[in-house]
Amino acid sequence: MSVFPVSTGDVLAGVEDGVGRIVLNRPRAINALSLGMIGDLTTVLEGWASDDAVESVVLTGMGERGLCSGADVRALRELALAGDPGVYDFFSREYALNALIAGYPKPYEARMTGITMGGGMGVSAHGSRRVVDATSQLAMPETQIGLFPDVGMLWYLARAGAAGAYVALTGLPVDGATAISLGLADTWTGHGDPTDTKVDEEWLTVCFGADSPLAILERLEDDWDSPAPGEVAAVLRTRCPLSVMVTWEALRRAAAMTVEQVLAQDLVLAPYFARHPDFAEGVRAQLVDKDRTPTWTHASLEDVTEADVQAAFAE
Amino acid at 314: A
pLDDT at 194: 86
Please provide the CATH number assigned to the domain covering 2-312. Answer: 3.90.226.10
pLDDT at 277: 96
Amino acid at 211: D
pLDDT at 196: 82
Distance CA 264, CA 98 (A): 11
Whether the predicted pLDDT of 278 surpasses 90: yes
Q: Where is pLDDT greater, at 4 or 87?
A: 87
pLDDT at 29: 95
Distance CA 144, CA 14 (A): 36
Mean pLDDT of the chain: 95
Amino acid at 214: L
The pTM is what? 0.95
pLDDT at 7: 66
Q: Where is pLDDT greater, at 21 or 85?
A: 21
Whether the predicted pLDDT of 3 surpasses 90: no
Strands ordered across the beta sheet of 19-24: 2-3, 11-16, 19-24, 56-61, 108-111, 129-132, 187-188
Whether the predicted pLDDT of 281 surpasses 90: yes
How does residue 2 score in pLDDT terms, banded at 50, 70 and 90? low
Can you tell me the mean pLDDT for 289-314?
Answer: 97
| pLDDT single digits (tens) 256-267 | 999 999 999 999
Distance CA 196, CA 188 (A): 12
| pLDDT single digits (tens) 207-232 | 999 999 999 999 999 999 999 999 99
How does residue 147 score in pLDDT terms, banded at 50, 70 and 90? very high
Alpha carbon 185 to its chain centroid, in Å, reads 13
Quote the radius of gyration of the chain (alpha carbons, Å). Answer: 19
Quote the percentage of the chain above a pLDDT of 90: 92
DSSP 255: T
How far are the Cα atoms of 8, 127, 188, 254, 274 from residue 101, in angstroms, in the given order? 20, 6, 21, 19, 24
pLDDT at 56: 98
